[in-house]
Amino acid sequence: MNNTIKENWLDTKQRIDKANPDGKEITVIAVTKTHSRETIETALSLGLTEIGENKAQEFVDKYEMLESRKENIHWHMIGHLQRNKVKYVVGKTRLIHSLDSMRLAKEIEKRAAGEGLSVDTLLQVNVVKEDSKYGIFLEDAVSFLKNMEKFQHLRIRGLMTMAPYYEDPEKTRKCFRDLKNLFDQLKKEPFQNVQMEHLSMGMSNDYEIAIEEGSNMVRLGRTLFGERPKL
Ligand SMILES: *Cc1c(COP(=O)(O)O)cnc(C)c1O
């Protein structure tokens, strides 16, 4: 098992390098949802320090299980976060990738203020307006970010999207390009509490295309750890 993950990672690294001929820094989030503590330990041993989970409860369980390693792990909450779960997550993450509503922003601000913390998030954008996906529409992003100026404890550090699943990953290219354009536009248009540093796009199916289109943060599960057990 360990060796398989290692081989997968070496292969993935090569593919990332190929999609990134200029050698820009690309952060890899190892998505360990449904996987065990051992899998996370293996990822850490390979130098993968950014660990992503998509469910608050599973994240908190794993966080506690690995509390003794917390200096070595940077946790990323990448899935939709319900407001009643915010209190369990605040203070434990390097980045929440799934800021997808004003109500969630207010709850994060409130909890972060209560603990005297500053919480880094990414604005999740639903580029293709899929009903099944969370996120702010592209054309609403600027006004949403203006509204973030009033917050003292929640910070926006970039954008995140999930492309639709296509049999042919080439079809995701436009979605990634549209988000990169917004990212570049927002870089020139500074708001309080908003910095465009991370562009989190690309999953196992489409990360090479996302990187070609300017992603600097990819969220990888299956390509590193194999297919997840069907729940
Ligand atoms: C599961 C998940 C991923 C990783 O998906 P893979 O196809 O396994 O690479 C990335 N982002 C989010 C939000 C996810 O829930």
Domain boundaries, the chain: 2-225
If you count DSSP H runs as helices and E runs as strands, how many of each does the chain have, helices first? 9, 8
Instruction: Tell me, using a 6 A CB cutoff, whether residue 162 lines ligand 1.
Output: yes
Question: Measured in angstroms, how far is the CA atom of residue 220 from the centroid of ligand 1?
Answer: 6
Could you read off the pLDDT of 28-59 as tens digits, one per residue?
999 999 999 999 999 999 999 999 999 999 99
Q: Which atom of ligand 1 is nearest to the CA of 223?
A: 9
Neighbours of 166 (CB within 10 A): 13
Phi-psi label, residue 151: left if phi above 0, alpha if psi -120 to 50, beta otherwise: beta
Instruction: Tell me, using a 6 A CB cutoff, whether residue 177 lines ligand 1.
Output: no
pLDDT value of residue 187: 95
CATH of 2-225, one of 3.40.50.2000, 3.10.310.40, 3.40.367.20, 3.20.20.10: 3.20.20.10
For a pocket test of ligand 1, which of 97, 121, 219 has the largest count of ligand atoms closer than 8 A to its C-beta? 219
Instruction: Tell me, using a 6 A CB cutoff, whether residue 203 lines ligand 1.
Output: yes
pLDDT value of residue 231: 63
- Is residue 215 within 8 Å of residue 201, measured between CB atoms? yes
Q: What is the number of residues in the chain?
A: 231
Structure letter (DSSP) for residue 157:
E
Instruction: Tell me, using a 6 A CB cutoff, whether residue 169 lines ligand 1.
Output: no
Question: Measured in angstroms, how far is the CA atom of residue 181 from the centroid of ligand 1?
Answer: 23
Is the pTM above the cut of 0.85? Answer: yes
For a pocket test of ligand 1, which of 99, 203, 228 has the largest count of ligand atoms closer than 8 A to its C-beta? 203
- Is residue 30 within 8 Å of residue 47, measured between CB atoms? no
pLDDT value of residue 190: 81
DSSP string, 17-81: HHH-TT----EEEEE-TT--HHHHHHHHHTT--EEEES-HHHHHHHHHHTGGGTTT-EEEE-S--
> Which parts of the chain sit beneath pLDDT 70?
1-2, 231
Question: Measured in angstroms, how far is the CA atom of residue 159 from the centroid of ligand 1?
Answer: 16
Neighbours of 23 (CB within 10 A): 7
